[in-house]
Amino acid sequence: MAHPDSVDEGGEEHHGSPWPVVIAVGMGIGYVGIVSASIPILVVGAAVFAAGAGGWVHVDMERPSRAFYGLAAAIESRFPRVSARKLALWLFLVTEIMFFSAIIGASWTLRLRTTTPGAAFQAPWARPGEILNVLLTGANTFILICSSVTMVEALAAIERGDQRKVRYFLLATLLLGITFLSIQAFEYQKLYFGDGLTFTQVPAHASEVNKLYGPTFYAQTGVHGSHVTAGVLALAYVTRKAFKGGFTKDNHEAVELVGLYWHFVDVVWIFLFTIVYLI
Amino acid sequence: MAETAVAVHAPGAGEIARKRPYIPVFVILAVVTGIELAITQPGLPEIEHSLRIIVLVILSTIKASLVIAYYMHLRYEPRWLALIPLAGLALVAVLVTALTATVAHP
Looking at the fold, whether B12 and B63 belong to one and the same domain comes out as: yes
Task: Measure the N-to-C terminal CA separation of chain A; round to a whole number of Å.
Answer: 52
Q: What is the pLDDT of residues A159-204, one digit of tens each?
A: 999 999 999 999 999 999 999 999 999 999 999 999 999 999 999 8
Query: How far away is chain A from the Cα of B60, in angstroms, using its nearest Cα?
Result: 6
List of E strands, chain A? none
- Strand, coil or helix: what is A41? helix
Residue A35 resides in a domain: yes
- Provide the ipTM: 0.82
Q: Looking at the predicted structure, is the pLDDT value of residue A276 above 60?
A: yes
What's the rounded mean pLDDT across residues A46-65?
86
Query: Which range, A38-47, A70-79, B38-47, has the best average confidence (pLDDT)?
Result: A38-47
Residue A35 neighbours by CB distance under 10 Å: 10
A126 and A198 housed in the same domain: yes
From B23, B88, B99, residue closest to A98, measured CB to CB: B88
Q: Cβ contact (<8 Å) for B81 and A87?
A: yes
In order, the DSSP letters of A244-273 are TT---SS--HHHHHHHHHHHHHHHHHHHHI
Residues of B in contact with A83 (CB under 8 A): 9
DSSP of A200-216: S---GGGTTS-TTHHHH
Residues A14 and A140 occupy one common structural domain: no
- One domain, residues A179 and A248: yes
A155 has pLDDT over 90: yes
**Residues B67, B93 within the same domain:** no
State the nearest Cα–Cα gap between B105 and chain A, in angstroms: 10
| Residue A206 confidence (pLDDT) | 86
Same structural domain, B91 and B50: no
CA B43 to chain centre: 30
Task: Please check whether residue B10 is in contact with residue A249, taking contact to mean a CB–CB distance below 8 angstroms.
Answer: yes
Chain B contact present for A155, CB below 8 A: yes
Residue B2, pLDDT above cutoff 70: no
Maximum C-alpha span of chain A: 73
Percent of chain B clearing pLDDT 70 (strictly above): 75
> Residue A43's domain spans which residues?
1-63
Q: Is residue A97 part of a domain?
A: yes
Q: Are residues A110 and A246 in the same domain?
A: yes
| A residues 85-104 lying closer than 8 A (beta carbon) to B | 87, 90-91, 93-94, 97-98, 101-102
Q: Domain count of chain A?
A: 2
Give the contacts of A203 (CB within 8 A, at least 6 positions apart).
A131, A195, A196, A197, A209
User: How much is the pLDDT for A124?
Assistant: 87
Nearest-CB residue to A145 (from B20, B33, B56): B33
B84 and B61 in a single domain? The answer is no
Indicate if the pLDDT at residue A279 is higher than 70.
yes
- DSSP conformation class of B72: S
Domain coverage including residue B49: 2-72
> Number of folded domains in chain B?
2
Judge if A111 and A245 occupy the same domain.
yes
Q: Are A49 and A30 in contact (CB under 8 A)?
A: yes
Looking at beta carbons, which residues of chain A come within 8 Å of B48? none
Is A161 domain-assigned?
Answer: yes
A74 within domain boundaries? no
Considering the domain architecture, whether residues B57 and B99 belong to the same structural domain is answered as no
**What share of chain A has pLDDT > 70, as a percent?**
88
B47 pLDDT more than 70:
no
Q: How far apart are CA A18 and CA A165, in angstroms?
A: 34
Residues of A in contact with B12 (CB under 8 A): none
Q: Are residues A133 and A264 in the same domain?
A: yes
Q: How far apart are CA B13 and CA A250, in angstroms?
A: 9
Alpha-carbon gap, residue A273 to A266, rounded angstroms:
10
pLDDT computed for residue A77 by the predictor: 53
In a domain, residue A77? The reply is no
Query: Could you say which of A12, A33, A63 is where a domain stops?
Result: A63
Shared domain check, B90 and B66: no
Whether A249 and B85 lie within 8 Å, measured CB to CB? no
Q: What is the dihedral of CA A174, A178, A180, A186, to 10 degrees?
A: -170
**CB of A25 within 8 A of CB of A44?**
no
Radius of gyration from C-alpha coordinates of chain B: 20
B87 and B59 in a common domain: no
B95 interaction partners in chain A (CB closer than 8 Å):
98, 101-102, 105
